[in-house]
Amino acid sequence: MTETADRPVYLAGRYAPVPDEIDAVDLPVEGTLPPELDGRYLRNGPNPLPGEDPGHWFLGHGMLHGVRLRGGRAEWYRNRWVRTGALAGRSMLGPDGVDLTAVVANTHVVEHAGRLLALVEGGLPYEVDADLGTVGPCDFDGRLHTAMTAHPKTDPDTGDLHFYGYSPVAPFLTYHRLSAAGELVVSRPVEVRGPTMMHDAAITAHHVVWLDLPMTFSWERLAQGMPFGWDEGYGARLGVMRHDDPTATVRWFEIEPCYVFHVGTAHEDAQGRIVLDAARYAPADAVAMWSGDRAATSSAALGRDAASRAAATGAARMHRWTLDPASGRVTETPLAERPVEFPTLSDALVGRDARYRYAVSSAGGRHAIVKLDVHAGTTTSHELGADVAAGEAVFVPAAGGTAEDDGWLLTITTRVDGSASQLLVLDASDVTRRVAAVTLPRGVPAGFHGSWVASPGEAT
């Protein structure tokens, strides 16, 4: 990543870490918070300790930021580091092998079976309490022996949590499933070509969709600090596996080389095909994004021709793959031209045929929250301008809502200089409309993923 005059980009401006943990109450609100928003908005992201330089934005210690909403008020804000073994100074590479409790838990925070879990794909989840204090590492009663992805998927019908762990050594990929009650009931290896960085995967009503893509691990890269990089010779494919059969084989479909950090969703259509939507990086864009530098690093890594290298922006675009098990064919279709990342949707439609995706766009100096209607092929946006950037937008359904987009989008926005932040509440049915904005007591650094955790008894 490029540097400012005195420090790297990932330690400056809206990425600059905060030096401490604070609490604030009775936060100022512009507009009117919907009274039925009763719960906590929680978001995770990297935040190195004061004076630390982790070497890359992805590598800072995890910090949770939370806002409590109730009765039309913003009752409190607080932030807490996730107190992992890494925060205590332990190395993940110990004398007994990899210590899965000594990894920063900086990527996501989710609730399952009454537990709040701070997640990172390289280690065990860390349980935290309702006040964001760290309880400790969670291995589900000693049954989890791999890392846990930061992007588990909850089936909206069964309540099961589907997840996986990837590893630099064999088995490179292991599938897991938690019951709705939080019991680890399935663990099985899945064969992939090598140590791929599988940041996300998808589910449908009956399948897991795997992404075996050419961002891979090497020990040589690890010695330089960041162990993953673009592998021109690895190839790219999507795998389809029944998740209701612990012995199911994987059907693989070769696709054009690309990388995906985040899927939108997947579903099974009326013809039995698997349809996957995701934010897709072309090869040149994948390398530009990963290096944080728009200049070409090598002609082989950045594509096969000068035009692709010159066009590299480091940006992803929503893309669709349709996998036909009957014929073995794959159809690839762009869904929208505007660059986006962090696609989300209603939790009630994970793995189902959802019409809307919500995403973040920061292209050409324009920051926005974007709504994609994949049925109509249209895009609308809440434009924030050049001085304010948004994080991932979390959908919260309205009580008694009948349409898919009846509800709100919650996101933390931060001024690009890092000086101030708000919790922004948008009308999901009309993202151009701002419902309310909660002024936070400090600039909150740019982060990764979050969740809405409704209070017990609330429909949302």
Report the distance separating Cα 387 and Cα 75, nearest Å: 27
Inter-CA distances, 344 with 355, 382, 428, 454, Å: 12, 15, 12, 18
Tell me the residue type at 117. L
237-259 residue pLDDT tens: 999 999 999 889 999 999 999 99
15-27 residue pLDDT tens: 999 999 999 999 9
Task: Number of helices (H) and strands (E) in the chain: give both, helices first.
Answer: 3, 35
363-412 residue pLDDT tens: 888 999 999 999 999 999 999 999 999 999 999 999 989 999 999 999 99
Of the listed ranges 92-101, 127-136, 379-388, the least confidently predicted one is 92-101
Q: Exposed, middle or buried: residue 88 (CB in 10 Å: 0-12, 13-18, 19+)?
A: exposed
The CATH number assigned to the domain with range 9-454 reads 2.120.10.30
* Average confidence score pLDDT of the chain: 92
Whether the pLDDT of residue 459 is over 90: the answer is no
Query: What are the structural domain ranges in the chain?
Result: 9-454
User: At which residue do the structure tokens 């930021």 appear?
Assistant: 65
pLDDT confidence of 227, banded at 50, 70, 90? confident
More confident: 302 or 109: 109
Q: Which of 111, 132, 116, 119 is nearest to 68 (CA)?
A: 132
Q: Three-state DSSP class for 219?
A: helix
What is this structure's pTM? 0.93
Whether the pLDDT of residue 7 is over 60: the answer is yes
Provide the pLDDT for residue 140: 98
Residue 414 per-residue DSSP state: E
Read off the pLDDT of each residue in 133-157 and give the average, rounded to a whole number.
98
User: At which residue do the structure tokens 């290096």 appear?
Assistant: 291
47-92 residue pLDDT tens: 999 999 999 999 999 999 999 999 999 999 999 999 999 999 998 8
Provide the pLDDT for residue 98: 84
Tally of residues, the chain: 460
